Every structure is written in structure tokens, then in C-alpha cells.
Amino acid sequence: MEETYESLKSEAIFNPCNLHIIATKIQKKCEETFSHPFETIAAYADFAPNVHFAGDLICKIEIDGKYMISYATPYKADTAIDFVLPDGQEIREE
């Protein structure tokens, strides 16, 4: 995460106020590194996360007064919107 932030910071178009681009770049790098979907949050103030995550894949850092957390999504994101009950039964609309 630190390496990704520092790399982004060195780009000519970097805007330290654009938390969205910071979070997006970190998220994409985490997903590339671990081959798993991630959730990432960047903020100006410290916060206490209350999150569920997969395995031990969670990291929170502070750099330049910005707080960033990235954690592995605890389910398969590509099927997260499927209409399936916990027992595996599909929900069908009639």
C-alpha cells in the first residue's frame, strides 16, 4: 500500500485531495497482488474499522495525514448479487 501511494504521489497529475483515486489505485494493486477482490477506504481522519474480511488480508496505514485501509472482500464479488439463499437455493421471481 505504501509503495502504491508513493508511486501515485510521484505522478504529475497527482492531487492529494482526491481520495477516490488514492483508494482506487490501492484497491486495484491489492487485487492484482492477491488475486482476490478488495475493499479500500481513504479518509482525512482516523477511524476504527468494523469489517469482515477474508483470511488475514487487512492493512490500515497513515501517510501524509491520510488514513487508508484495504481488506479482502469476504465473499466472491462476482456472485455477490446472485439471488441465492444461504442453503444454496435460488430465489426466482414469478
User: pLDDT (tens digit, 9 = 90+) per residue, 15-40?
Assistant: 999 999 999 999 999 999 999 899 99
Residue 12 lies in a domain: yes
Residue 85 within a domain: no
Q: Which DSSP category does 41 fall into?
A: E
> Looking at the domain assignment, is residue 92 inside a domain?
no
At residue 75, the pLDDT reads 72
The three-state secondary structure class of 85 is coil
The pLDDT of residue 43 is 97
Predicted confidence (pLDDT) per residue in 56-78, tens digit: 899 999 999 999 999 998 876 55
Give 76-91 pLDDT, tens digit per residue.
655 555 566 667 677 6
Q: Is residue 66 part of a domain?
A: yes
Rounded to two decimals, the pTM is 0.76
CA distances from 69 to 1, 73, 92, 93, 94 (A): 9, 12, 37, 38, 42
Domain containing 30 — which CATH number?
3.30.740.10
In which domain, by residue range, is 71 found? 2-76
